[in-house]
Amino acid sequence: MRTSNKILLGAFVATILIITSIHVVLYAKIKNGEVITFRKELEARERIVLGNVKHVSITGLEECSIFSGDTVAIEVGRNWLKNFRYRVAGDSLIIDGGLRESEYLMGSRRYAPISLYLPPVESITANFSKVFLRGADDSTNAISRSILINNSDLDVTPGSRNLKPTYWKSLQVNALHSQATFFEGAVLNELSINLNANSSFTDAGADLQHFSVQVDSTSTVSLRKKSLNNIKLVK
């Protein structure tokens, strides 16, 4: 065998040995739980507990999930803390992606997957944002919400991917240049929705027990047949 071939063969065998060693070490770490620990460190979350808040404003965020909670708190992965700003002014919590208004008007949003825990508050306003609204896990703890969405997308969703139901006592939605979608697993005792300026409301399987819709000439409503018996149109 020529020297060059011996060198190539040696290099190949060395590479195989290195890869095998890495797999052995990785298996040992998985077995000992070290990889899980490392993953948890990557996914470490920061919880920011805030004081008395009655009004919430969210601007320019691509993914903001709103949950029911006993206290006002923001939860976010530490790697995403730099992607948004927040402050409390009086009784108002203001969360912003930090972009210029001209950028928002062009469709830009800041990706910051935050979880916002709120007890009943007087108002929630979402501007240029994508908001996921989740209700209470138990119907006896269902609360009422009021939300204004402006140039935003609102998804009213179940509690998890397996469509575990979440509940609202009542929900009032006012939409401007926005889309509101109500998914299967969301259970609303009472819904009132007002659509203006090219807004849309889509019934994607939610349990809408009593609801009224007020819609202007530029906006659209998409309903399942099941929901037609419960709707009340408001002029």
Q: How far is residue 74's CA from residue 51's CA, in Å, rounded to a whole number?
A: 11
| 65 pLDDT higher than 90 | yes
Q: Determine the Cα–Cα distance for residues 97 and 76; give it in Å rounded to an integer.
A: 14
- Rounded CA-CA distance 199/201 in Å is 7
**Could you tell me which CATH number the domain at 46-234 has?**
2.160.20
Yes or no: say if 192 and 170 are a contact pair by the CB < 8 Å rule: yes
Here the tokens at position 193 are 């929705």
19: three-class secondary structure by DSSP: helix
pLDDT tens-place string over residues 149-200: 999 999 998 876 667 889 999 999 999 999 999 999 999 999 999 999 999 9
Q: What is the mean pLDDT of residues 87-92?
A: 94
The residues near 89 (Cβ < 8 Å, ≥ 6 apart) are none
pLDDT in tens, 97-115: 988 888 988 888 999 899 9
Q: Averaged over 200-207, what is the pLDDT?
A: 92
**Assigned token pair, 65:** 């999930």
Tell me which residue of 65, 117, 64, 123 sits closest to 92, measured CA to CA: 123
End-to-end CA distance of the chain: 91
Buried b (16+ CB within 10 A) or exposed e, 66-77: bbbeeebebbbb
Bridge partners (DSSP) listed for residue 213: 193, 233
Sign of CA dihedral 89, 94, 95, 99: negative
Tell me the pLDDT of the chain averaged across its residues: 83
CB 147 within 8 A of CB 168: no
pLDDT at 132: 96
Determine the Cα–Cα distance for residues 204 and 7; give it in Å rounded to an integer.
64
Domain boundaries defined on the chain: 3-39, 46-234
Sign of the Cα torsion 67, 72, 75, 76 reads positive
The two structure tokens encoding residue 226: 């099941």
What would the pLDDT profile of 8-52 be if each residue is shown by its tens digit?
445 554 555 555 555 554 455 444 544 444 444 446 889 999 988
Predicted structure pTM score: 0.78
- Residues 220 and 235: their CA atoms lie apart, in Å, by 14
Tell me which of 77 and 231 has the higher pLDDT. Answer: 77
